[in-house]
Amino acid sequence: MTKRKYFGTDGIRGKVGEGKINPEFVLKLGWAAGRVLGNGDPGKVLIGKDTRISGYMFESALEAGLVAAGMDILMLGPMPTPGIAYLTRTLHASTGIVISASHNPYYDNGIKFFSASGAKLPDEVELAIEAEIDRPLVTVDPARLGKVTRVEDAAGRYIEFCKSTVPHHLDLSSLKIVVDCANGATYHIAPHVFEELGAQVTVIGADPDGFNINSKVGSTHPEALQQAVLQEQADVGIALDGDGDRLIMVDHTGATVDGDGILYIIARSRMAHPDGLKGPVVGTTMSNLGLELALRELGVDLVRTDVGDRYILAQLDANNWTLGGEPSGHIICRDRTTTGDGIVAALQVLAAMVLSGSNLRDLSMGMQRMPQTLINVGLGKAVPAEVMKNQAVVDSVAAAEKTLGENGRVLLRPSGTEPLIRVMVEGREATLVTQLASEIAAVVESVTAA
């Protein structure tokens, strides 16, 4: 496959004002996307964003570029990424555009796209957009310029969709829930979904100011949620990330349940119904070995892909399977929606709790996590491919794999969204796993600093 010049594993992302994340490039990106996705004809494009301050700037830049390419635009305002995917389908748009850096801090931002079907763009379409970016911008004839309107009921439409993904008779009135919206795009949506299904809801992380998105709250910082669950004596906590496509949960004791645990619970619940789970569960190279073993006990295989929900979805689509996800909390219930959706995934777990009469802790106990250590090493100016091929790094990985034998594994990979090398070691002995991960990370760090 041709190497992509601008797109990463999840759109285009970086620090605002640096590299490609600037108004000039984003305007050109909007124009190029309009040229490719409109295919020379007027088309309808949705634009939504999360709550970070730079969203206003990039919203305007995209708008200008798309209009110059002759595309009509429907503006959604703050809206979760999976909500934009859903509305792209139901409003019959040619594409949906998300302005978000997901779980990253406010000073980062990014652009990602959905196709008319609500799925991530195929590689060949991204390559076509990249080729167009490198051409001179030519505005269409004034008579063909696009128009811009705002969708006033976007939030309400998505709230109703989320509720429709669980049985219509589901009653959450027996549950006391704490919801952490990460000061992000779900702040005006997630609380209403759970309240309208009857739950008693306490909300944190729902006061965005443009700068506090993902700051000490949300799925990447569950400590605030853990504390709130204990203080409120709640049954369960739900932590979303800044754009609403990730989910981490907290049980009544304050213990976290990550994406692997959530996948296990949903898979087990689906198996209670004859047509509830089709095919294996799809995970990634980062999925815990404990998930694989627990699913095997249920008679279900775990199929691994590269890291990234686009690869999980591609595997699900290719085989018509229904469930996949990542430890970070990207959960795709393909029998419900087309992309990772934190609210929808949370609802599937809550439904499993209510229908089984079990609490979250009991439901998650069927999966025993293998000790796993993940260390992120900053790249600085180092080139990821060169670091990965460095002989000292290769030797350190080989030595660790020999020590672990068949009782563990080592994974070294560059992040697709940040300038990092991720070092992951997994095995049966926690002390050994931590030691080996630290040793490999120290070698990687010495190479990047050289």
pLDDT at res. 68:
96
Where in the chain are the domains?
12-152, 158-364, 372-449
C-alpha 154/C-alpha 79 separation (Å) is 8
C-alpha 80/C-alpha 282 separation (Å) is 23
Q: What is the pTM for the complete model shown?
A: 0.89
Q: How confident is the model at residue 428 (pLDDT cuts 50, 70, 90)?
A: confident
- Looking at the annotation, which residues are catalytic? 102
Q: How confident is the model at residue 39 (pLDDT cuts 50, 70, 90)?
A: low
What phi and psi values does residue 405 have, to the nearest 5 degrees? Answer: 60, -135
pLDDT at res. 120:
86
- The architecture of the domain spanning 12-152 is 3-Layer(aba) Sandwich (3.40)
pLDDT at 256 over 90: yes
Classify domain 372-449 at the CATH topology level: TATA-Binding Protein (3.30.310)
Decide: residue 135, CB within 10 A, 0-12 exposed, 13-18 middle, 19+ buried: exposed
Give the pLDDT confidence of 406-415 residue by residue, as tens digits.
Answer: 778 899 988 8
Q: How confident is the model at residue 41 (pLDDT cuts 50, 70, 90)?
A: low
Name the class of domain 158-364.
alpha beta
C-alpha 237/C-alpha 59 separation (Å) is 32
Q: Which residue has the tokens 């999925």?
A: 287
* Domains 12-152 and 372-449 fall in the same CATH topology: no
Give the pLDDT confidence of 108-151 residue by residue, as tens digits.
Answer: 999 999 999 998 888 899 999 999 999 999 999 999 999 999 99
pLDDT at 213 over 70: yes
What's the average model confidence in pLDDT over 362-388?
A: 91
C-alpha 176/C-alpha 359 separation (Å) is 12
pLDDT at 2 over 70: no
Question: What type of residue sits at position 136?
Answer: P
